[in-house]
Amino acid sequence: MQQRCINRPAIIASFALFICNNSLDKFANSHLARKRQNTSEIEYTDSENLELVDSIMDNLSKKLKQSNEFLISELEKLPTNKANPRLVENLILDCEKKPIKYLARTTVNQSTIKIQPYNKEHVKHLLDLVHKTFPESQTKSDSENVWITISALSDDLKEGVKAAVKELLLNTKNKHRVARQDAINALKNAKDRLSDDFYHMKLQEVDETSKKLYGEVEKLCNKKIELSA
């Protein structure tokens, strides 16, 4: 009977390869399971604190928008070389203690603003108010309306407007910086409860939101200076 030659080294090598592959499969499966578990924990952790993070981001947006709204309202009060109803709408009529926008209709025709008070008895008070507010402009009235023709700004007034706009923008920039830092500090305080990816994503969102809203008012300020030149 012919004996078969057994290649022991080959068998040992094959068995070792089987053991190795089996171990690698177990490691890969174990690693995948841990990754899924960690991902699940991360998602759970982030969703659990989502309300807190949303509150931080909402508070940031609210502060930035409030700063912008204040700047815009102040810009509207500054004169330019162009007629604009907003130049007079927020002026307070002393006899009523209310802004003109609640007491009259204002329209614009080229460089002239026409004010039509709902109460004709306000005509004289309106004329005095706009004359005092815009001493370099031409004002006139009849029994029902007041007109103010916006004159070109003097060099001194142009410089005054430019300086006022820059100061408003600087104050807004400082308010934005404080609001941004408050949001960053709040996120840092919550860092231990958030995944690293989520935490850094929100930090980036803070920067992007701050830059976007500051850019909007910066453009408005530059436009105001341009109209006043």
Could you say which of 3.10.180.10, 3.20.20.70, 3.30.1360.40, 3.60.70.12 is the CATH number of the domain covering 85-149?
A: 3.30.1360.40
Residue 138 CB neighbour total at 10 angstroms:
13
Q: Which residues of 96-120 are buried (b: 16+ CB within 10 A; e: fewer)?
A: eeeebeebbebeeeeeebbbebeee
Say what the pLDDT of residue 46 is. Answer: 60
Which residues make beta-bridge pairs with 117?
A: 104
Judge whether 84 and 108 are in contact, CB under 8 Å.
Answer: yes
Q: What is the pLDDT of residue 31?
A: 39
pTM above 0.85, yes or no: no
pLDDT at 70: 96
Half-sphere exposure of 17 (CA within 13 A, CB side): 6
Structure tokens at 194: 């958030």
Instruction: Please tell me whether residue 99 adopts helix, strand or coil conformation.
Output: strand
CA angle 111, 97, 224 (to 5 degrees): 35
Give the C-alpha separation, 65 to 126, whole Å: 33
Q: How far is it, in rounded angstroms, from Cα 70 to Cα 172?
A: 9
Please give the structure tokens belonging to residue 202: 């929100």
Give pLDDT, residue 37: 43
99 strand-pairing partners: 92
Q: Is 70 exposed, middle or buried (0-12, 13-18, 19+ CB in 10 A)?
A: middle
> 3-class DSSP state for residue 166?
helix
CATH architecture for segment(s) 48-78+154-228 = Orthogonal Bundle (1.10)
Could you tell me the residue ranges of all domains in the chain?
48-78+154-228, 85-149
Consecutive 10-residue runs of the chain (229 residues): their mean pLDDT?
48 46 46 42 60 94 96 87 84 92 92 94 94 87 93 86 96 97 96 91 96 96 88
The count of C-alpha atoms lying within 13 angstroms of the C-alpha of 141, restricted to the half-sphere facing its C-beta, is: 19
Helix (H, G, I), strand (E, B) or coil at 94: coil
How far does Cα 153 stand from its chain's mean position? Answer: 32
